[in-house]
Amino acid sequence: MKQQYTTLLFDLDGTLVDSGEGIMRSAEHALNHFGIEVADYRTLRPFVGPPLEDSFIDFYGFTPEQAAEAVEVYRERHAAIGMYEEELYPGVLDFLREVKRRGYTTAIATSKMRFQADIVVKEIFPELSPYIDKVFGRDDEGLIHTKADVINDGLKQLQITNLHEVLMIGDRRFDIEGAKVCGLDSMGVLFGYGDRPEMEQAGADYICESYDEMLQYL
């Protein structure tokens, strides 16, 4: 029996948009700024998903001050070039069209800065806009930082009163773990930047390999 969800929260990178190229090359650019050479930018896949500051600290031992500088260098390159290296996943528009036909409220809950996510949805891929009701992301003040923070902000703005009606969908453990912190069910997708063991370990309620499979649970 299907759970009666009414609202779907989507991660952006690795779930609706294949943004890995732009993120990894921009992270490489930031590391080069600090004299760190990367043999193959594709080894920076772990940068896709979590907050950038955390990645520079966790993977390269940066201090918070260095991480903040790295993020600024990253953003300069990403805003000028990286955003335009992104692509929509094949089939995503058909999937979202069907989701809206079924009457779901849809929103993006991303670890990107909110203004960056707005640019992606409204300017780079405006074809997404008709199918996305709201966009939630990190704020400039640093009050909304973790995925759980983003989700909670979205729940408040959407005036959600029944958490059982909301499903969080994403490709990394941060999406699944954030959903759990907020009391939501979660769906892990395998066409992004995570894998099945990561989804299973994080405790995803559903794990899907394609948009078609996702629709079977909605």
Indicate if 202 and 181 belong to the same structural domain.
Answer: yes
- pLDDT at res. 40: 96
CA of residue 129 relative to chain centroid, distance: 16
Using 50, 70 and 90 to split pLDDT, how confident is the model at 12? very high
Phi, psi of 78 (to 5 degrees): -65, -40
Q: What is the dihedral of CA 132, 17, 57, 64, to 10 degrees?
A: -40
Dist CA 201 CA 179 (whole Å): 14
Lowest mean pLDDT among 26-30, 112-116, 141-145: 141-145
- Mean pLDDT across the stretch 53-76? 96
Q: Which domain holds residue 72?
A: 20-85
Q: Which residue has the tokens 């991660």?
A: 11
- pLDDT at res. 1: 52
pLDDT in tens, 164-173: 999 999 999 9
In a domain, 2, yes or no: no
Indicate if 94 and 32 belong to the same structural domain.
Answer: no
Indicate if 78 and 93 belong to the same structural domain.
Answer: no
Task: Output the domain CATH number for residue 75.
Answer: 1.10.150.240
- pLDDT at res. 142: 74
pLDDT in tens, 67-122: 999 999 999 999 999 989 999 999 999 999 999 999 999 999 999 889 999 999 99
- Mean pLDDT across the stretch 177-198? 97
Indicate if 171 and 111 belong to the same structural domain.
Answer: yes
Indicate if 91 and 54 belong to the same structural domain.
Answer: no
Residues facing 9 on adjacent strands: 107, 168
Indicate if 59 and 139 belong to the same structural domain.
Answer: no
Show which of 55, 85, 115 is a domain's final residue. 85
Q: Is the pLDDT of residue 2 over 90?
A: no
